[in-house]
Structure 1
Amino acid sequence: MASFTLFRFLPAELRLEIWRQSCQTRVVEVRYSQEQDRCVSTTRPPAILQVCKESRDEGLRACYVRAFGTDTHDAHIYFSPALDVLYIPRWGDLGYADTARDFAVLVRDTAEHVRSLAIDHVKPEIRRPWETYSKFCLMRNFPRLRETFLILADESQWGQGEQVEFVDPRGDRDTIMRLMENVKESFVSEVGPECFDWDMTASCRPCFELVPKAKAHGWCAAV
């Protein structure tokens, strides 16, 4: 395989533009540990930050910030507000509980960075009574949110740090729409119909759109 050995001789403006173009959308998994009062992630840092000093400096200038700090731990997870999807998985016996509902309080100076969010769909037969409300509060924590993805996967996979990839949906339309109706009914019954009628000019904008998406080895749907 041929390699390009003259990159360092290119004009600086062209090199920096190539570095910027190398920044790609990622799904960044973040979990808040209440015991440690810190956020942890299984997602690898962006490649641009590990190539050389020039690439790292340009990546931090143009794309990435350190996010998800707490009162006792500095922000250390690299995140691109313009490109990345924040994935907060369902975790533990309580599922989406207080740590999801109060995410913006526990994890400081982060809400403004998140424009795309992914959360797990919880089947009605295992969903705890408080989970829908907690997820609703979680979404409202992010005033710049534009889209939310529901991740559908086998519950046995939770907590194994699997990579999440958005791909074209597989399956018939009726199955997908029945799922979306279940999601809608859950939010309407537990939170209220206003959650599907948010003012797009207001500070909280995650309007629900029934646009199917999919997850590798599972499913997701944009809502």
Structure 2
Amino acid sequence: MLALETEEILQVCKTTTHALGNVKRSQISSVHSIRDWHAPFATMHVLHFITEHLGKLPTWEEFRAAAQQPPFSDMTWTPARDAIKEAIRRGSAPDDARGAMRWRIGNFYYSFLREQYVQAVLRDIGVPVRQHPLADALFRVDCWAGDTNIDLYIGNPLYRKEKEGRKLQARRFLNDSRPPFRTCGLELCTQHIFGEVHLPGRDVIQRAAEQISQQRRQ
């Protein structure tokens, strides 16, 4: 896996086209089949693969261009197109269905940027953090350092806030591991500045680094 640098990630955040475009949350609220959509091949895997393929973190435009070409098109683009057609067949307005899919995949893209930024800052601080798409897709482990799994999430009751919400936690999959894994939850505050990539403050990441370091010493 590429170990991305903090400045590279910040540059992409500054220069990328806004991944959600002009889509409004109210526009996609009724398209439930896409709001909760997952491609058969995990979208986060595709983001990792495209990053490796390009040799750098892609902007939204670069991700879209690569996602439409083989072999990546069969992983995300074609299933997304089919899901849009099915939503329209079930009665959704075409613009709403297309907007909902952009919202869904755009948020996957922003989650990927946030994860890469947090990991880069942790490495800057001195935490030897690692990641792998299989650990993410199969066990919901965003990244780890030693035997501490790091769980990144937005404070949103629909997905997860503390112990609530629908985002599955790594401990649910790994709670019977022997020896057991430790877990460090890093909750990122919800932000409402449309058109900007929402990255956590370095102070939040610093506190997580201190927690991880303390656990590793125990």
User: One fold, TM greater than 0.5?
Assistant: no
Greater percentage in strand: 1
Q: Say which one has the larger Rg.
A: 1
TM-score (normalizing by structure 1): 0.27
Greater percentage in helix: 2
TM-score (normalizing by structure 2): 0.28
Q: Which has the higher contact order (CA 8 A, sep 6+)?
A: 2
